[in-house]
Amino acid sequence: MSTTDSTSGVSSSVLSSLQKTTASSNSNTGTAGSALGKDAFLQLLVTQMQNQNPLDPQDNGEFVSQLAQFSSLESMTTLNDSVSTILSSYQSSQALQASSLVGRSVITQTGTAVVDTTKGLTGSVNVSSSSTSTTVGVYDSADKLVRTIDLGTQSAGKADFTWDGKDGDGVVVDPGTYTFKAVATIDGTSTVMSTNLPATVNSVSLSSTGGEMVLNLAGGTTVALSKVQTVGI
């Protein structure tokens, strides 16, 4: 024999059945706790109407309030589904974009690069202010100075430079990873400048949470896609 809750007008047996149904649904969907979904919420509302005391029916205002809550719950559920769909589409777009970048050359702000010395390398220096002297030192993997490139006087901005792959004696050095250190004399003070160098994209790392794509470059360095200045062939 079921009893009736005098406040809500819903029988205890019905509430118990709803709780079991909700728990079973949560177990199947992997959701935790005993929170009601929109289907269980609507079922509870209908059951409440069916089991109300005919001599003391539920106030209309309470039903309107519960309907408003149901509408709000349904809207949030729909919004959550929409956001999930957008995230899935974004990740698919990122994967497609990533596949088109692998194997291509990009230019980004970095100090190291893998150089095919038979072809040389073209880069640039980010000169922060007018300088009376600007140089780029090329160092091998043992941090030994291979070549100094003199760019002379430079105004603020990007100063392009080219290394032909040769050392100071004009001999072509071995291909490999080289470090480029730029120094500019500004107001009589030697100041370290950053360089922009080309690199080949070996692979791409995608974020499972929709974060920014990270490019894994030849030579072992990584860079965020937003830091890439130019994408070449």
Domain identity same for 96 and 151 = no
Q: Does 207 reside within a domain?
A: no
Q: What is the pLDDT of residue 67?
A: 67
Domain shared by 38 and 75, yes or no: yes
Query: CATH no. for residue 154?
Result: 2.60.40.4070
**pLDDT at site 59:** 65
Are residues 133 and 97 part of one domain?
no
Q: What is the pLDDT of residues 136-157, one digit of tens each?
A: 999 999 999 999 999 999 999 9
Residue 35: per-residue pLDDT: 55
Q: Is residue 25 part of a domain?
A: yes
Query: Is residue 81 a part of any domain in this protein?
Result: yes
Q: How many domains in the chain?
A: 2
According to the model, what pLDDT value does residue 15 have? 47
Average pLDDT rounded to a whole number, residues 9-21:
48
Q: What are phi and psi of 59, to 5 degrees?
A: -65, 140
- pLDDT for position 46: 76
Residue 216 within a domain: no
Range of the domain at 40: 12-101
The gap from C-alpha 105 to its chain's centroid, in whole angstroms, comes to 21
Measure the CA–CA gap between 66 and 41, rounded to whole angstroms. 9
Asked if 212 contacts 94 with a C-beta cutoff of 8 angstroms, the reply is no
The pLDDT of residue 87: 67
Residue from 200, 216, 224 nearest 107 by CA: 200
Residue 26 lies in a domain: yes
**Reported confidence tier of residue 10, pLDDT bands at 50, 70, 90:** very low
Tell me whether residue 160 is in a domain. yes
Flag whether pLDDT at 18 surpasses 70: no
CB 230 within 8 A of CB 215: no
Do 73 and 33 fall into the same domain? yes
Is 48 in the same domain as 115? no
Model pLDDT for residues 71-129, shown as the tens digit of each residue: 777 777 778 777 777 767 766 676 777 778 888 899 999 999 999 999 999 999 999 99
Answer yes or no: do 124 and 41 share one domain: no
Candidates 132, 163, 158, 126; CA nearest to 147 is: 163
Domain boundary among 101, 126, 155: 101
Domain-embedded: residue 53: yes
Residue 1 within a domain:
no
Q: What is the C-alpha separation between 34 and 24, in angstroms, rounded?
A: 10
Which tens digits make up the pLDDT trace of 181-222?
999 999 999 999 999 999 999 988 877 666 778 889 988 888
CA distance 92 to 178: 36
For residue 25, the model assigns a pLDDT of: 46
Residue 95 sits in the same domain as residue 131: no
Same domain, 80 and 57: yes
